[in-house]
Chain A
């Protein structure tokens, strides 16, 4: 980093060095101020009298007690302007794509939070074409929702796909501990889609120091606030992988001798994560920030402190699961949840959406019960058999992540499956909707009579 200015005082006496921090005596230093230690960016994390503790983002390897320390007199900042668009940056907001430096207003990252009474209720649907999301777990602008996925699942691919299909003005990618291969994947994917003109990336790769990751979400959110609040744009922020971010938090807190709470995570994990996720918002004058993140799990364990705290903060979660029956990755309809879906389902989408969604999942649940029954050696009823067949089709045509159709088409597909495998009274959908959507031409007269005599619609 090139921040040295002639008049700045240079300190050269470090009294303490750990793997992530160093301590020295200095005066007139502000809390959270940035500094340069032996050419490496650092930030003030503790002040005790004249003893200043700095976290050194690239790590302390080779730092000596006589290394040069310069304080910059300001917190970490990002220069914001339209120039950010289409560019790739590192965790400090410096270009890594050989392009020119950014000209723009300098904004401190991790700024103040939004006054809750000034927020608007999220209400605009984000269409992704993936039925596991649009049909069963509809996402809206201003929402924050992570993918919960095991490391071997194609979460980055799904996320890139979602981002490109979503109707957003800007897509901001915050990559934390991204492998070089994944970095190149995103870069190629965005370039080939011709979407570079709306993409901004802040990347910390696995070959970069882990502590640097701590800056990435704030950088991404600061850029997002610029476009969403000042330019009234619809911004989609992608954060991958938040588990690695939390790991970096744990490293620093450990080096600062803080007492760990559950799963060796710092006691402030909830607040730390909330500060990032709560940047998602619907602004009053049209702009919005939607955050889609990735939290990798350890063998699907959601009780670990990271997914657990995340679940309490975000508005739902999307689970990826490999369906071995159809050999594809699906969005698990049971464990996935979008808490804001009812704001748009049946209101911004077709009236039958909520009921069709529930019926589809309920019948899939019946199929899973039938499967358990079969595995336990019990006899299957004729209904069970039909459920199982339905489940295969449902999984293939609607849950699989390679589906790409409009919401109306998803609903029609679901009706088609209901019709194929069930009788109208078995799907448990309101009578008025059945009459309208249970396809007129295929309907036999007596079947209709049967429906009307059947009173048990909830």
Chain B
């Protein structure tokens, strides 16, 4: 009984307004009655319930005051700096690499080539990408050698002393040409490395039944994530022989698995610590130079830091896939969509990275959020001798949305329908079947169309 009475008194102190003197009291575990919880105030961060509150981010203050530690702000005793030499060709055999002149330069502590990497391949779907190209380069961004030196400038200067002998081989840059039989091949027998099909009903019959059939090709460009913080990591070996890596990676679990694979060592001996990342947008989902830093650090016996230049970021990190998309849609006069076919060719660049998954997501979403009974989607990812494409915010969706929504407007105009009405008429509702046959739940396409158009003033709008 006394216990309960005591706690009731205490809660008043917590919930109610504290005097200045009470507020200044230090928390104490031994005197739990006056523990460290602050009084509930109008500050959203101190309010319950927490969900739905416009709380201030935990990292707002350090961000605003410039105190957030990014990799580039971090330094360790005796730390070296790493720079990467990249390919001079889009497609070539590497005949020889000579690092001896670079190694003789004062301030250069270690160099690394692809042959020194225990398992020189990685990738989330297929392990088709070398950490450092050893026998062949497949695009201009491929690394061919790396240097660790006392300063960034010395490392950069040393790259100029590395001699690489290449034998250029024919390259292919256009994904449609790359699909042809006689085109130069990047890996194996064919450049088509992933295909997806989604089939429902009979699209060809739907076109026969339609009052109007419209066809159009759409295409998109390659873009970069351009995070404010480029890819950056620091690798060091601890006295007990374990590897520690500070990294801007967005996926440390996968990063550690890739490190264990490429370095051929147990996961338990690798520790990856991610910092607050200065922008990811999908571009930091896989390792880049982390194994290089680890091996240079082992050779040098010192921590090694690597921060990509903006040019490294553009040339060698992943980018957004260019898509070529052929749309064909059959509709009735009153605006019901009967059937749609979509053919997607995705320019995958020199390595798979996340193309296989981007292709799958793009294919599923390509029909749009509309009830269409007859669907045929066919999508292919293709190697070209260009910067590799990979995960980027939207994973194929911005490309296909540009196409299906442009196509929807074209159809609405042909039928003399208001684009909003045409969408409302065909949009998914609760329990609509998706193109893959999934029964959709918590669907609010129409609600979002209504909300956006009302706020915009769609009906009243005049040019």
Q: Do A and B bind each other?
A: no
Residues of B at the A interface (CB closer than 8 Å) are none
